[in-house]
Structure 1
């Protein structure tokens, strides 16, 4: 007999069965996802059920006023709803995962769509890992490869852009590492400088993206 977590195998692919152009379903991670063409105008119905919780309905297109047009759109919506449902259950602590291996745990969370910040907060709140340590675990994880570098690059771009409006800038090895602002200056002088600096700052940031 499969365990509860084995029934919740969300690492398996979501495979749709039957007629994708009319009426189809997928069984995934203990959930049932269903979609069906409901009229000649191309409107579709979708619904997700938790088969391990008395087959309760999680969500459905019936709950929304906007139309769901196209089978692919309906399937995508059902899949997004399913992953969010399990992600929320993990974050709430309803669905218990193996916390003994933080690497696998982070992979589980990422699979269900958890962002890096959500993962950091989960490690902090559920495993009592210090925030700075949790951040290092996520940033250095193989599952978030390149995250630390991209974060540090973004921070450096903000520092470089902010250097122009700062009253004092500290450099180490040619890179901006610290900014400080004199808040004791006259209000008018500060206001005029702030307006010019804000325009310059955001123009520089926009040019990077």
Structure 2
């Protein structure tokens, strides 16, 4: 093992320990984090920081979220192998890979063609044939695949778009960072119950804003 690989192994072990110390208890989620090589999903310039618990910049002005936030969001979804999941904001495909190791089928939407194409290559390289990447306006969701058992937003919204709530199955869960696009948001979980949507605030977070439409060039 090279010095770089040894350093990666140490930082990876430290990150997994940090996830446990922060209360991550779902064995499926922990197993997914162990299986997905985060170094494949970061830019080459940040390769040495791949296993640190921090957000990192990626192409098109986007970010790959810090692992502890991804873990919190994933655990809040209460995923099961039979679930169909809609992810809005593919980015590099890292969160989609985590989801794909747990859920039966994942549809992930990205507005930037460059990011979508690169993510699709990474996911295919990992053998995650149950994850489909589409170029689409995430604010509109993916009606052709609805309803979804779980929906997760990887970008901030002032309010969750009605179209996404409309694609959530009965007893479904939606997790999103809700709040001012340029400020601090509240990671919020919604569950569709018999009497309507049940709302629960989870944590303060900072995400890039969700933008409408499909990017014209990138």
TM-score by length of 2: 0.21
Q: Give the TM-score, by structure 1 length.
A: 0.22
Q: Which protein is bigger by CA-based radius of gyration?
A: 1
More helix per residue: 1
* Higher RCO by CA contacts (8 Å cutoff, separation 6 or greater): 2
The structure in which a higher percent of residues are strand is 2
